[in-house]
Amino acid sequence: MTGAGRVVVAAGLAVALVILFGIGLVAFRALEPTPVSTAGGGAGQGCAPEPCINTGPFEIDVARSSSVSSPAAGVRLDITFRNHSNDAVTANGNHERADLIDFSLLDSSGQEHHPDYTAPGCEHWPSYEIPQFQEFGPKSVCFAVGGPGRGPFLLRWNPDLGLLSHPYDLRLS
């Protein structure tokens, strides 16, 4: 290979590395949670009733129920899911999936809690494909947070919305 050929190959490799780095950076940034405050609606186009998160095609409305009766549990949320998709085909066909595994709750210390099904009224419910323009719920989601005084809380929702899905954080007062 001549000197000019080596320069072309090296330049091509450098361009390829820059492109790969850019793709990796975009993918990493997509994994960062999108913060959503309770004031001003949810992400995207806003939603109601608040607190809520609107990803565009998919929305959740969150109502905080009273504390759960189990000493280990502490937070019970009633969540209604809405599929507003206008697209003929979304990441999941015309359906969006409601699933308990998409939720976690962060307490004031930053500790992450996953759904708890052991307290009364906190049963495990199966995932559900929500047809276009339909809603599902409210469904209860409970979190064992170790008793009162661990708030304020941040609800993290990580719905499967396709390739560039990322979590949404909703501050609960």
For the chain, counts of helices (H) and of strands (E)? 1, 11
pLDDT in tens, 24-64: 444 444 444 555 544 334 444 578 888 899 888 889 999 87
Of residues 158 and 95, more confidence is placed in 158
Identify the CATH class of 36-172: mainly beta
User: How many CB atoms within 10 Å of residue 75?
Assistant: 24
Any idea where the domains of the chain sit in the sequence? Answer: 1-30, 36-172
pLDDT in tens, 115-157: 988 877 788 999 999 998 999 999 999 888 876 657 788 999 9
Q: What's the angle, vertex CA 165, arms to CA 160 and CA 167, rounded to 5?
A: 90
